[in-house]
Structure 1
Amino acid sequence: MNHKYITCTGFGGTGSSVISDLMKEFDNVKSCGSDFEMSIAFATDGISDLQHYIVDDFERNKTAEGIYRFRRMASIISKEYSNKLHLDFISAVDKYLQSLVLTNWNGYNYLHQLRYGKVCRFFYYDLPFRIQGRLRKLFPSKDGYERASKMKKTLPIEISIGETNFFKATNTFFETMLDSIDSNNNFSYLCFDQLVPAYNFKRYSKYFPNLKIIVIDRDPRDLYLLNKLYWNEGWIPSKDVEVYINWFRLLRLQLTSDLITENVLYIRFEDTIYDYENTIDKIINFIGLSKSNHIHKKEYFIPEISIKNTKLWEKHPEYMIDLNRIESTLKEYCYI
């Protein structure tokens, strides 16, 4: 298959679904929509963490534990991924790890203990270790060799190392997953929500061939009011305006100009509404689409509906003190 991949990303609540909805309007794009965020690349214990253990900071025990944690995380998300991607996700993960792991055996290292709760760890590891230590003191070795406590060697230890092998296997793994949503090859482009975070693109782009990244951001005043009045999401700190300002700025510190390359496009949510035609043209040209393929225009992304989520500060003067504070400290992010 020769699919090209598109992903939209943002900072949380900033409107990345604009792109996944918009892509549904093109007859040569298959979009998974915004109901499935395929975040395995950057999730905790995901691909990026696996890269850390195998490529960036190899250490035999940590690497083995990193592979175990990735496998455990994959089993947790397997049902959702299998349903959304139309493939046996665990089989794909097993094949991926088989291509990564260079040697394996059943053994023991000290990190195995951390997989158990305190009580189980005491009876399974601590108590046998103490008993054997006491016995060695009572009955020292006569041959002069130091003896170590015998620990149960029943858990798998898997070792992988090497940059070339890692990225080759990871590219194949993602191609297998992404292409599965169009197994008949009916579309030229596949669009996914949140394949990568809104920063560190150089790291994450290595996992995907032919990937175009579109970053969506929105006015901090609107985001503040949307969460304070309607969403009430715990990961947006909208109870205290000073905390909110610090949070908003911190998330964008790494989005520097050098990250905006030919494969990364930065879009303001408001531009897709107030400057619709020019912004759509910019997106089409960036991806390499054709206007002739935009056959369902404004059927999925409808700016006349999305406009209600903009300029909320004009409708809520009761929060003017907070909004003025946001505008004065985050002026460069405010749309008008």
Structure 2
Amino acid sequence: MKTDCCENKLIIPTGYMGSGSSAITDLICEFDGYEADNGTFEYVFLHCPDGLFDLEDKLLIGNNSMRSDEAIRSFEKRMYELYSNKYWWVANYKKRIGREFWKYTKDFTESLVQYESEAYWYMQERIDFLKFLKLGFRALIRNVSRGKIVIKKPLEYKIMRTSFVTPEEFYEKAQKYINNILKCMEIEKKNIILDQMLLPHNVYRAEKYFDDNMECFVVNRDPRDVFILNKYVWTRNGNPVPFPTDVKEFCGYYKRLRAIEKRCDNIHVHIIQFEDLIYKYDEKVNQIIDILRLDETAHSKKKTMFNPQKSINNTQLFMLNKYREEAKIIERELPEFLYDFPYINSTDVEKSF
């Protein structure tokens, strides 16, 4: 299912927590006509808990009237949090996307609803102390009036909404929703870069939601450096990623993390090795130029935002003697994810960033 797509590009850099996907954002921003208005701000509304992908699963897998009501309300609640919360670092969409985000969200959910009812189900009947008192008063009035006066039952909300959309209906409406959001961000006037709008584990869904103007770059990175940086640099600086800091636990975690990925053959999803951007810089830049169908002259701000001579300090930290024992365990347990460095680079963890 496709609609007419905008000529401008939507670029989605993504990775595996600390794998260096921001390097793609920085590199592509060096090209004329490409912007990341909010830098490496992470746009999570598709894949966050109760986001659009959760709504998809709830409505298309094992759906029923009660499940669809919960699904729509949970989605609306999460989207409103992302829209209105100024202090949550993944939110404030009113400013970062535009004031119409919430309008488009409501238009989308209303288009999904096929039936409304004043009947209620147990999720509407959840009891707190105030509702308990109201129920007691309701019972008292009913008994005193001998059933002639019946006060309505106190509910969390009044109307139950039901959706039995088909997959074709859902994806058509969802793609219209996403396109409206992109228009909010002026994709009709410029190419835009939205960091982490997809994750590696859900890129297989992309063809159901995006037109051919989308290009997603999934960034891999040698797990030895990821482990070292997370344990000894990012955690120390108060910015850890949720990987175990015990090296054996890390290996098991990482292996399972990668094993649960679904295969994706989408020609608009590109696997990029972080280290290649440094050690094979010219080759990878040319690959990106080909993907974006650009001329070499468009790279007018070359190495002003992504400088391989600087970023090389974020690689081969595992070669330092103080980390070698842990690195050897990763080398033994995760050989398929290691990068074959063309040469040894001497660096210091203090030069990393």
Superposed pair shares fold, TM > 0.5: yes
- Hey, what does 1:191 align to over in structure 2? 193
- Hey, what does 1:8 align to over in structure 2? 13
SS of residue in 2 equivalent to 1:155: coil
Cα deviation, residue 152, structure 1: 3.3
- Hey, what does 2:293 align to over in structure 1? 288
Which residue identity does 1:247 align to in structure 2?
Y
Cα deviation, residue 78, structure 1: 0.4
Mapped to 2, the partners of 1:219 and 1:113 lie a distance apart of 51
CA contact (8 A) 1:108 1:152 kept: no
**2:232 matched to 1:222?**
no
- Hey, what does 1:143 align to over in structure 2? none
- Hey, what does 2:337 align to over in structure 1? 333
Q: TM-score, normalising length from structure 2? A: 0.81
Please provide the CA RMSD for this pair. Answer: 2.8
Higher relative contact order (CA 8 A, sep 6+): 1
SS of residue in 2 equivalent to 1:213: strand
Which residue identity does 1:83 align to in structure 2?
K
Cα deviation, residue 28, structure 1: 2.4
After TM superposition, list the pairs within 5 Å mapping 1:81-92 onto structure 2. 81-92=93-104
CA contact (8 A) 1:37 1:193 kept: yes
Mapped to 2, the partners of 1:160 and 1:53 lie a distance apart of 10
Runs of 4+ in 1 over 4 A off after TM superposition: 120-125
Cα deviation, residue 35, structure 1: 3.1
SS of residue in 2 equivalent to 1:199: helix
CA contact (8 A) 2:175 2:210 kept: yes
Mapped to 2, the partners of 1:243 and 1:120 lie a distance apart of 47
**2:107 matched to 1:95?**
yes
Percent identical among aligned pairs is 27
Cα deviation, residue 75, structure 1: 1.2
Cα deviation, residue 47, structure 1: 0.4
Mapped to 2, the partners of 1:238 and 1:30 lie a distance apart of 34
Q: Which runs of 5+ in 1 are unaligned?
A: 141-148
| Residues 1:102 and 1:319: Cα distance change in structure 2 (over 3 Å) | same
After TM superposition, list the pairs within 5 Å mapping 1:230-241 onto structure 2. 230-232=233-235, 233=239, 235-241=241-247
Q: How many residues align?
A: 319
Deviations 1:266-292 (A, max 9, x none): 111000011001011112222333323
- Hey, what does 2:324 align to over in structure 1? 320
| Residues 1:40 and 1:306: Cα distance change in structure 2 (over 3 Å) | same
Q: Which runs of 5+ in 2 are unaligned?
A: 1-5, 85-91, 341-353
Cα deviation, residue 314, structure 1: 2.1
**2:85 matched to 1:66?**
no
Which residue identity does 2:223 align to in structure 1?
P
SS of residue in 2 equivalent to 1:252: helix
